[in-house]
A and B are shown apart, each in its own frame.
Chain A
Amino acid sequence: MTSTIEGGLSTGGAPGLVQAPLLSDEQVGHIRHVDNLSRLPRGDWRHMAGPLPFQEDFSAYRYQLGYMSLAMALAHYHQLPAAPAVFKGQLDRLIGKMLEPDAWSYWRDTSTQGGYGPFTLPRLPSRTDPVAVDNIMYSAYLQVMTLMYTMLFDDHTYEQPGSLSFSMRPVLWGKDRHERFEYDQRSLNERIYWNMVENGYLGVACEPFCVFQVCNQVPILGFRLHDHLYGGDVATEVTQGYLKAWEQFGGGVNKNGHFASYIVQRNELLPEDVLLDRDSAWTDGWLGMLMNMWRPELVRSVYQNKIEQWLDRGRDGLISVRNLSRLPGSADLVELGTLGEIGWLAAWASEMGDREVADGLLGHADTFMNPQWENGGLYYPRRDETYDDAGHFVAVTPTVSNATFPYARLNVADGLRTLFERPWADGERSRPALTEVHQQVDVRRAWYHEDTRCLQLAVSPMHGLSSATTDLVISRVWDRGPWVLAVDGVTVARGDEGRVEATPEGRRLQPERVGDGLRISLDLRGRADVEMIWSAA
């Protein structure tokens, strides 16, 4: 059915209205799963607990929270840009979890160093403050999470002094003993910047003396977002310095054409900097997915030349991973957390726009890695064995299930690079958008088309439910001229700057103005397509 209002404005298949693509069940399922995790009560880390203690491996909460946030930010930016209702609260809750001592208090022990891999390194005094010096493997993720939140939602919560606080107050320390460190997103950014300067732009160490390329891509995104929000050009300064600093280490690529992993910096026990440049799938995938932001030519070249080395192509387009790092003659891993390769490689492929590889890896996961649905969310239960009895790769780390698979499924070609180059500003944030929706409703489409002045939404009951009732609030809708609202092609309301008039078919939806938004109520038995169109300006 097509309805028309004054000026020829119409809905329901009108010429020129291109439907934005719908998210798949799996894409929606990833968003729901992350949302479910974000809503768990304090201290409840179900589906996130990894196999190793001390938050030392790549399934540490900080990495999960950081990459869950990046995945959801990319999903908002590229897939559901007109649905802040889906992402704003979720990303805020993930920041809250990042500030929990469970996510950062490992630093009191890790900061003491003593050795890593083959190196004996100096012992240092214990430090509690997790962002003051080193520990870029935590601080940069928090930096980006908060700056991205401000960029996407124009919410300045984390500008407030003390809004990023780290409080250590164990009950058994007694009433007078307490450690607390207060920052905000700007002072945190400043700390990281000066740590970067002090290290000659080579990067900030994760654990003391160990400077990884992967984690030092994250602050580059942070500096870019900070420049965008507050002015300056620190990202250019740092990237130019980074290139110069890494020149003496082969430019960050080893002799075999893979990305170099990390540098152990000289210290009282190690006379020279040592570059660790062993070929590794996790470094290639992880660095590639991030560094494409600012070195796209290099990253694409490494991808084209090296990705096949890590892929094990099976039947029906399914792809697994191979050449994982292991101790000679042993099933033991050489390095902690290397079983996350399938996720890093899938995320890298997604950034490269290689859907054949990304979907092949995800297809392998859907076939052999036991996908599960819980409360509308899609996840892959943790599995510590590497291969099943039939020889299929089946290892699942929480980071893969919760972060890198969602990232790979929701990202688009050059997705992070685009966010890096064109972060949102007032123009994007002032468009009509869905700002409220019931928790048991999945949003599958949310686009505002500037050229046709049309907002397109598609909503459905949460995966696993046959029905749901929800209010939808569409905000930033006034002062744009006459409009018409349709549900499944039937006009249910029309109006102008301040007037809301329900059609006979639309009265049960109770359309009404609420603040800067329009509220309707929907009883969903399946997917509903909602369109709001404004007449030509």
Chain B
Amino acid sequence: MSAPVVPRYALVDHHGRDVTEQDFLGRYQLVFFGFTHCRMVCPRALTKLSTVLDDLGPLVDRIQPLYISVDPERDTPEVMRAFLEENYPRFLGLTGSPEAAEAARSAFRVYAGRGTDPEDPEGYAVPHTALTYLLDPAATYLAHFPDVLDADDITARIRELVR
């Protein structure tokens, strides 16, 4: 299924550099939205996607994995960097102002709400869509992978799509 998605963003990476989708032209972008306080969806998805990237072999050099925050208030560049470098080092974290994060979320048509976190009464959870997007080297939408696909399925799909 194709998508009416125009994947544009203007954010800050976890090294503090301003980035847009244009900064990765020439490489495929593998994009997942989430938040570092996420206890289940993000760890599961990032682990799965890390496996995919491991399994892709040399193809992985043509792919930039990106993790875009839907919780920019807590996910500063420093928080994103610490979280990713420790757990999912293949990913580059992107965050920004609430407005910039909201614009990116909206451009990808990602859902993100805000709800209570039963394990952290002082905090909150951000339920969000667990889709993974693949952008082509021109930074246009190529495909997306729902959460129900396992690592092997995603790897196979990427092998078909990345040429």
Q: Which A residues fall within an 8 A CB radius of B?
A: 189-191, 193-194, 197-201, 232-234, 236-237, 240-241, 245, 248, 273
Contacts and interface: CB of A to CB of B under 8 A. Distances in A.
Interface in B3-25: 3-5
Interface stretch (B71-79, B82-90, B93-101, B124-132): B124-132
A235 to B, nearest CB: 10
A25 to B, nearest CB: 45
Contacts of B131: 197
A236 B150 CA distance: 13
For A191, A198, A232, the residue with the greatest tally of chain B CB atoms inside 10 Å of its CB is: A198
A240 B111 contact: no
Contacts of B129: 197-198, 200-201, 241
Given A190-B1, A200-B127, A233 B148 contact: yes
Contacts of B109: 194, 197-198
A455 B103 CA distance: 60
A306 to B, nearest CB: 29
Given A194-B4, A194-B5, A232-B1, A199 B111 contact: yes
Dominant secondary structure at the B interface: loop
A236 to B, nearest CB: 6
A194 B112 CA distance: 14
Nearest to B144: A197
B110 to A, nearest CB: 7
Nearest to B128: A200
Nearest to B146: A237
A200 B113 contact: yes
Contact of A190 (B2, B128, B147): B2
A191 B4 contact: yes
B147 A240 contact: yes
B110 A190 contact: no
Contacts of A232: 1
Interface of B: 1-5, 109-113, 115, 127-129, 131, 146-148
Given A190-B1, A200-B128, A240 B115 contact: no
A143 B9 CA distance: 32
Nearest to A238: B146
Given A197-B111, A198-B110, A190 B3 contact: yes
Interface pairs A-B: 8 shortest CB-CB:
A200-B111, A237-B146, A198-B109, A237-B148, A194-B109, A198-B111, A236-B148, A240-B148
A194 B141 CA distance: 14
A241 B149 CA distance: 13
Nearest to B113: A200
A174 B129 CA distance: 45
A50 B38 CA distance: 49
Nearest to B105: A198
A498 to B, nearest CB: 44
Contacts of B112: 200
A199 B115 CA distance: 15
B154 to A, nearest CB: 13
A440 B80 CA distance: 72
A242 to B, nearest CB: 12
A193 B148 contact: no
A197 B112 CA distance: 10
Nearest to B2: A190
Contacts of A200: 111-113, 127-129
For A201, A232, A237, A245, the residue with the greatest tally of chain B CB atoms inside 10 Å of its CB is: A237
A217 B18 CA distance: 43
A156 to B, nearest CB: 18
B111 A234 contact: no
B127 A234 contact: no
Contacts of B115: 248
A200 B129 CA distance: 6
Contacts of A199: 111
Contacts of B146: 234, 237
A451 B127 CA distance: 52
A194 B107 CA distance: 12
9 contacts: A190-B2, A197-B110, A197-B111, A199-B111, A200-B113, A200-B128, A236-B148, A241-B129, A273-B113
A193 B4 CA distance: 10
